[in-house]
Structure 1
Amino acid sequence: MNRPKPRRARRLRNAALIGAAVAGLVAANGPVVTAVAEEVYTDFQRSRPDYMAEHGSWETIELPEEYRGQAVHAALLHTGDVLLIAGSGNDAEDFGAGTFRTILWNPVSGEAEEIPTPEDLFCSGHAYLPNGNLLVAGGTRDYEVLADDITHAAGVLTVKNERLDETVTLPAGTRFTARGNTYLSAEEVTVPPAHLMPDGSSMAGEQEVWIEAEAEGDEPVVVGGQQFQVEEFGPEERATLYGQGDTITLDKQNYRGLDASYEYDVAGERYVETDRLTESRWYPTLVGMPDGGVLAVSGLDEFGQVVDGDNEVYDPATRSWSDRPELERYFPTYPALFRLADGRLFYSGSNTGYGPAEEGRQPGIWDLADNSWQDVDGLRDPEFNETSTSFLLAPAQDQRVGIVGGGGVGDSEESTARFDVVDLTEPEPRYEPAATDYPSPARYLNAVTLPDDTTLLTGGSVGYRGNSQSDLHLTTVYDPHSGHLHEAAPNEVGRNYHATALLLPDGRVMTMGSDPLFSDEENTIPGRFETRIEIYSPPYLYAGDRPAVTDAPEEISRGSSFAVDVEGADVAEARLLRPSAVTHQTDPEQRSVALDVAAASCPEDASGHTAADGGAHCPDGCCGSGTVELTVPEEEGLTPSGWYMLVVLDSNGVPSPARWVHVA
Structure 2
Amino acid sequence: MKIHKTGRTKRFALGSTVALAVAGMNAPAVLGFATHQYHQYVINRPEYKAEYGHWQTLTLPAGFRVNAVHASLLRTGKVLIVAGSGNDEKHFDAGTFRSLLWNPADNTYKLVPTPADMFCGGHASLPDGRLLLAGGTQRYEKLAGAVKRAAGVMRVRNESPAGARTFPRGTVFVGPNGREYASTAPVTVPAAVKSGSGRQTVVTAGEQHVFVEAVGEGADWVAGSPAQYRIKGLDGADAHDLYGQSAKLTLDKQEYQGIRSAFEFNPDTELYEQVTDMASARWYPTLTGLGDGRVLTVSGLDDTGEILNGNDNEIYDPGSRTWSKGPDRYFPTYPSIFLTAAGKLFYSGSNAGYGPADKGREPGVWDLATNGFQPVPGLRDPDLTETSSSVLLPPAQAQKVMVLGGGGVGESPSSTARTDIADLSAATPAFTPGPDLPAGGTRYLSSVILPDDTVLTTGGSSGYRGRGGSDLLRAQVYHPDSNTFTAAAEPTVGRDYHSEALLLPDGRVAVLGSNPLFADKAETTPGGFEQRIEVYTPPYLFHGERPQVGAAPERAKLGGTVRIGSTRPEAVTTAKLIRPSSVTHVTDVEQRSVALDIGARTADGVALTLPANPDLLPPGWYMLFVTDAAGTPSVARWIQVTR
Same fold, judged at TM 0.5 (above): yes
Find the residue that maps to 1:523 and give its secondary structure: coil
2-structure distance, mates of 1:451, 1:211: 51
Q: How do 1:264-413 residues align onto structure 2 when only pairs under 5 Å count?
A: 264-309=265-310, 310-322=312-324, 324=325, 327-413=327-413
Partners of 1:266 and 1:162 lie apart in 2 by 46
Match of 1:653 among 611, 621, 631: 631
CA pair 545-391 structure 1, distance change in 2 beyond 3 A = same
Cα distance in 1, alignment partners of residues 308 and 396 from structure 2: 31
Aligned with 1:472: secondary structure?
Answer: coil
Deviations 1:208-237 (A, max 9, x none): 122223443334434554433446778997
- Residue 3 (structure 2) aligns with: none
Q: What pairs with 1:421-570 in structure 2 (closer than 5 Å)?
A: 421-568=421-568, 570=571
Change in Cα spacing, 1:236 to 1:314, as seen in structure 2 (3 Å) is: closer
Q: Rate the CA distance shift 1:189–1:630 in 2: closer, same or farther, 3 A.
A: closer
Contact 1:436 1:484 in 2 (8 A): no
1:245 maps to 2:254: no
C-alpha separation between the residues in 2 aligned to 1:117 and 1:237?
A: 38
For residues 60 and 524 of structure 2, what CA distance do their matches in structure 1 show?
29
Going from structure 1 to structure 2, the CA distance change for 1:178 and 1:349 (only over 3 Å counts) comes to farther
Specify the SS of the correspondent of 1:512.
strand
Moved more, 530-539 or 365-374: 365-374
Work out whether residues 642 and 662 of structure 1, in 8 Å CA contact, stay in contact via their aligned partners in 2.
yes
* CA distances 1:149-173 after superposition (whole Å, capped 9, x unpaired): 1122110011223344465555524
Label 1:519 to 1:343 Cα distance change in 2 as closer, same or farther (>3 A).
Answer: same
Distance 1:307 1:20, change over 3 A: closer
* Counterpart contact for 1:418–1:438, Cα < 8 Å: no
CA distance in 2, matches of 1:268, 1:391: 31
Structure 1, residues 427-446: CA drift from partner, whole Å, max 9, x if none?
Answer: 22111111444531111111
Is the Cα contact below 8 Å between 2:439 and 2:472 reproduced in 1?
Answer: no
What is the distance in 1 between the residues matched to 2:283 and 2:123?
Answer: 12
* Counterpart in the other structure of 2:77: 80
CA distance in 1: counterparts of 2:52 and 2:377, whole angstroms:
35
In 1, the alpha carbon distance for the partners of 2:17 and 2:404 equals 43
CA 1:240–1:69 in 2, change beyond 3 Å: closer, same or farther? closer
Quote the Cα distance in structure 2 between the aligned partners of 1:264 and 1:184.
34
Higher RCO (C-alpha under 8 Å, 6+ residues apart) = 2
| Alpha carbons 1:419, 1:438 under 8 Å: kept | no
Q: Which string of whole-angstrom CA distances, capped at 9 and with x for unpartnered residues, describes residues 246-273 of structure 1?
A: 2422122111111221111111111112
Deviates more, 1:192-201 or 1:397-406: 192-201
Tell me which residue corresponds to 1:184: 182
Deviation per CA, 1:52-93: give whole Å up to 9, x if none.
Answer: 211111111112222111111111112111111111111111
Question: Counterpart of 1:532 in structure 2: which amino acid?
Answer: R
Q: CA deviation at 1:318?
A: 1.8
Any idea what SS the aligned residue of 2:305 has?
A: coil
For residues 234 and 430 of structure 1, the distance between their equivalents in structure 2, rounded to whole angstroms, comes to 62
Does structure 2 conserve the Cα–Cα contact (< 8 Å) formed by 1:26 and 1:33?
no
Q: CA deviation at 1:187?
A: 4.1
Calculate the TM-score normalised by the size of structure 2: 0.92
**Corresponding residue number in structure 1 for 2:595:** 594
Report the number of matched residues: 626
* Alignment check: 8 A CA contact 1:405 1:438 kept: no
Q: Deviations over 1:2-31 (max 9, x none)?
A: xxxxxxxxxxxxx9x999975675433344
Partners of 2:190 and 2:626 in 1: CA distance: 59
Given that residues 177 and 231 in structure 1 are in contact (C-alpha distance below 8 angstroms), is that contact kept between their aligned partners in structure 2?
Answer: no
**Is the CA contact 1:139–1:258 (under 8 Å) kept in the aligned structure 2?**
yes
Distance 1:130 1:365 in 2: 24
Alignment partner, residue 99 of structure 2: 102
Kindly indicate whether residue 619 of structure 2 is the aligned counterpart of residue 641 of structure 1.
yes
Q: Distance in 1 between matches of 2:188 and 2:467?
A: 44
Task: Give, in angstroms, the shift of residue 413 of structure 1.
Answer: 1.8
Partner of 1:153: 150
Distance in 2 separating the partners of 1:490 and 1:226: 59
Q: Deviation of residue 584 (structure 1)? A: 0.8
TM-fit CA distance, 1:135: 1.0
Give the one of 131, 141, 144 matched to 2:141. Answer: 144
Q: Per-residue CA shift, 1:600-624, capped at 9, x if unaligned?
A: 32x3xxxxxxxxxxxxxxxxxxxxx
- Provide the aligned C-alpha RMSD in A: 2.4
- One-letter code of the match for 1:348? S
Q: 1-side partners of 2:185 and 2:581: how far apart?
A: 38
| Matching residue within 59, 64, 67 for 2:61 | 64
- For 1:23 and 1:572, the matched residues in 2 are separated by 48
The aligned counterpart of 1:585 is 586
Which residue number corresponds to residue 8 of structure 2?
A: none
Distance in 1, Cα, partners of 2:251 & 2:23: 58
- Does 76-85 or 313-322 show the bigger shift? 313-322
Please list the CA deviations of residues 332-382 of structure 1 after superposition, one character each: whole Å capped at 9, or x if unmatched: 111111111121111111111211112221111111112221111211111
**What CA distance in whole angstroms lies between the structure 2 residues aligned with 1:588 and 1:136?**
14
Cα distance in 2 for partners of 1:530, 1:194 equals: 50
Measure the CA separation in 2 of the matches of 1:573 and 1:224: 67
Q: Distance in 2 between matches of 1:44 and 1:631?
A: 45
2:5 corresponds to which residue?
none
Amino acid at match of 1:589: E
On the 8 A contact 1:177/1:230 being kept in 2, the answer is: no
Residue type of the alignment partner of 1:592: S
Aligned letter for 1:176? Answer: V
Deviation per CA, 1:568-612: give whole Å up to 9, x if none: 4522111111111111111111000001112332x3xxxxxxxxx
Cα contact 1:454–1:478 (8 A) shared by 2: yes
Using the alignment, how far apart are the partners of 1:505 and 1:595 within structure 2?
Answer: 18
- How far residue 40 of structure 1 moved from its aligned partner, in angstroms, is 3.0
Please state whether the residue corresponding to 1:115 is helix, strand or coil. strand
C-alpha displacement at 1:497, in angstroms? Answer: 0.8
2:607 counterpart of 1:629: yes
2:640 aligned partner: 662
Q: Is the 8 A contact 1:546 1:655 kept in 2?
A: yes
The amino acid across from 1:548 in the alignment is Q
Q: Tell me if structure 1 keeps the 8 A contact 2:130–2:265.
A: yes
Q: Secondary structure at the match of 1:548?
A: coil
Task: Give runs of aligned pairs for residues 111-130 of structure 1, distance below 5 A.
Answer: 111-130=108-127
Tell me if the contact between 2:292 and 2:614 (Cα under 8 Å) persists in the aligned partners. Answer: no
Closer/same/farther in 2, CA of residues 233 and 118 from structure 1, 3 Å limit: closer
Three-state SS of the structure 2 residue aligned to 1:302 is coil
Q: Secondary structure at the match of 1:52?
A: helix
Does residue 39 of structure 2 align to residue 42 of structure 1? yes
1:162 aligned onto 2:159: yes
Where does residue 54 of structure 1 map in the other structure? 51
Partner amino acid, structure 2, of 1:401: V
Structure 1 residues 87, 628: closer, same or farther in 2, change over 3 A?
same
CA displacement at 1:552 relative to structure 2 = 1.5
TM-score, reference length from structure 1: 0.89
Query: C-alpha distance in 1, partners of 2:432/2:327?
Result: 29
Shift of residue 521 of structure 1? 0.9
Q: How far 1:239 moved relative to its partner?
A: 6.1
In 2, Cα distance between equivalents of 1:188 and 1:268: 31
Unaligned residue ranges in structure 2 (runs of 5+):
1-11
Assess, with a 3 A threshold, how the Cα gap between structure 1 residues 644 and 234 changes in structure 2: closer, same or farther: closer
Question: Any stretches of 5+ residues in structure 1 without a counterpart?
Answer: 1-14, 604-625
Question: Is the 2:171–2:231 Cα contact (8 Å) retained in structure 1?
Answer: no
What is the CA-CA distance between 1:33 and the residue it aligns to?
Answer: 4.9
Distance in 1 between the 2:267 and 2:238 partners?
53
